[in-house]
């Protein structure tokens, strides 16, 4: 079967804004949504890693998805994080995302449990059977402690509503093997802002990007230049973003990107514990980089 991409281009892994009280700032969420669409983002991904899903309640996730879907009003796809290290909870979150009107679900590998490849297959089969949503698998072994092997992708790609993967392993050779094994059965998205153009060269259809929170137009350009046949232009745009990307990952995501938005005058509140504020050394480094990109004074 040939799987259709949920989106093509640059999808933003949207931060979740919080009030000083620690509650979700839904008003600012709506502002961010409009800013991203105006900036050229091709999809909005909410309640993912960058959205601090691990500290959101299920009720908060449902409300974030519902409000984002309402605000977007069909202009771009809305993809909802619905992963968990508890398969039953992941199924509930997937059904909840579907009920809230999401266009797709992003399902991270089960973290901490460190299951086997057979366990991953059974986990994803179970989640896929619980919903009609098209699902994007999310492979980020540096955060979860477990990675999806290319051969495992090949098995999972036979499931109709497992349509794509967000690959953040940094292993381009493994991505190439996945593309060879799965062909058109599985859409690939880059999960690493530093590897957008290389991933596109291996057949990826876009990126789910942290940097798009800051420069959605420039991340969109990296993708569109490639798809228009201007590979050198895409590479130049990618290289031109590297200092910013490095700064945005100077500490664990989403600490730096939230600090960057604050430095740009678009405060989205602090991260929820156990994530804390950016160190002063890295804040100054980030400020200097943002100034070089003319993003703050």
Contacts of 162 (CB under 8 A, 6+ apart): 124, 128, 135, 137, 156, 186
Start-to-end Cα distance in the chain: 51
Which residue from 145, 142, 133 is spatially nearest to 85, judged by alpha carbons? Answer: 145
Cα(215)–Cα(245) distance, integer angstroms: 10
Report CA torsion sign: 154, 156, 158, 160: negative
Catalytic residue from among 166, 189, 225, 258: 166
Instruction: Catalogue the E-assigned strands of 152-257.
Output: 162-167, 187-190, 206-209
Report CA torsion sign: 182, 184, 186, 187: positive
What are the backbone dihedrals phi and psi of residue 287, each rounded to the nearest 5 degrees, phi first?
A: -60, -45
Classify 279 as helix, strand or coil.
Answer: coil
Catalytic residue from among 124, 138, 153, 189: 138
Residue 167 in contact with residue 135, Cβ under 8 Å? no
Determine whether 114 is an active site residue: no
Determine whether 166 is an active site residue: yes
Contacts of 24 (CB under 8 A, 6+ apart): 16, 17, 18, 56, 60, 63, 64
**Number of Cβ atoms within 10 Å of the Cβ of 52:** 21
Cα(80)–Cα(49) distance, integer angstroms: 11
Catalytic residue ranges: 138, 166
């Amino acid at each position: 079967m040939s799987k259709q991409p949920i989106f093509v281009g640059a999808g933003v892994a949207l931060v979740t804004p919080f009030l000083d009280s620690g509650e979700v700032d839904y008003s600012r969420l709506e502002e961010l949504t409009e800013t991203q669409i105006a900036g050229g983002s091709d999809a909005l991904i909410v309640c993912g890693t960058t959205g601090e899903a691990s500290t959101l309640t299920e009720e908060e996730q449902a409300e974030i998805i519902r409000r984002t879907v309402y605000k977007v009003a069909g202009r771009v796809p809305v993809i909802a994080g619905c992963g968990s290290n508890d398969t039953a909870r992941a199924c509930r979150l997937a059904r909840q995302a579907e009920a809230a009107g999401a266009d797709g679900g992003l399902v991270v590998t089960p973290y901490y449990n460190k299951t086997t490849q057979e366990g991953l297959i059974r986990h994803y089969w179970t989640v896929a059977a619980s919903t009609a949503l098209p699902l994007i698998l999310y492979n980020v072994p540096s955060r979860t402690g477990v990675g999806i092997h290319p051969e495992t992708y090949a098995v999972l790609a036979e499931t109709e509503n497992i349509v794509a993967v967000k690959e953040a392993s940094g292993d381009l050779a493994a991505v190439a093997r996945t593309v060879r094994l799965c062909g058109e059965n599985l859409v690939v998205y880059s999960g690493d802002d530093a590897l957008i153009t290389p991933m596109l060269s291996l057949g990826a259809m876009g990126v789910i990007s942290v940097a798009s929170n800051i420069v959605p137009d420039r991340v969109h350009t990296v993708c569109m230049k490639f798809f228009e046949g201007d590979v050198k232009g895409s590479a130049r745009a990618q290289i031109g973003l590297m200092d910013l990307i490095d700064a945005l990952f100077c500490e664990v995501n989403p600490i730096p990107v939230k600090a960057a938005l604050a430095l740009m005058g678009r405060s989205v509140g602090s991260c929820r514990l156990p994530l804390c504020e950016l160190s002063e050394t890295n804040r100054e480094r980030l400020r200097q980089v943002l100034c070089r990109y003319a993003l703050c004074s």
